[in-house]
């Protein structure tokens, strides 16, 4: 299928390694953050979220870290698998408004 992002920054990792994807957000008033995974030809898929009153949240094989001081968000994927290959977007939200998405990072997992 057609690629989601042809000119995105790319992170290439070996299968089994840990991956860290970084994101800088823009609005200091944002109080809710989400990481989405998007595969070619599909809509964004929810991975994990975190609210601004937290610094860290863990899911299954994924961890999100939030540093409000420098407005930085990161997604850590443990034991990266080929199925993790996709474009990853961070998104921020303020109140009841819609999400503002970052520009995305392509993750390529080498077998």
- Round to whole Å and give the CA distance between 25 and 16: 29
C-beta closer to another protein: residue 5 or 78: 5
Q: State yes or no: residue 11 binds another protein (CB under 8 A).
A: no
C-beta closer to another protein: residue 49 or 76: 49
Site for another protein, residues 52 to 71, rule: CB under 8 A: none
- Round to whole Å and give the CA distance between 91 and 74: 11
- Round to whole Å and give the CA distance between 64 and 1: 29
Q: State yes or no: residue 7 binds another protein (CB under 8 A).
A: yes
Q: State yes or no: residue 41 binds another protein (CB under 8 A).
A: yes
10 Å CB burial of residue 72 (0-12, 13-18, 19+) is: middle
* Interface positions with another protein (CB under 8 A): 2-8, 31-32, 34, 36, 41-46, 49, 89, 91, 93, 95-104
């Amino acid at each position: 299928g057609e690629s989601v992002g042809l000119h995105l920054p790319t992170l290439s990792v070996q299968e089994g390694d840990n991956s860290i994807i970084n994101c800088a957000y823009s609005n200091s008033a944002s109080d809710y953050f989400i990481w989405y995974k998007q595969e070619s030809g599909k809509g964004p898929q929810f991975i994990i979220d975190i609210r601004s009153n937290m610094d860290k949240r863990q899911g299954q094989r994924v961890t999100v870290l939030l540093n409000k001081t420098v407005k930085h968000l990161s997604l850590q994927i443990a034991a990266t698998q080929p199925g993790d290959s996709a474009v990853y977007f961070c998104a921020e939200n303020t109140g009841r408004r819609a999400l503002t998405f970052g520009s995305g990072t392509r993750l390529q997992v080498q077998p």
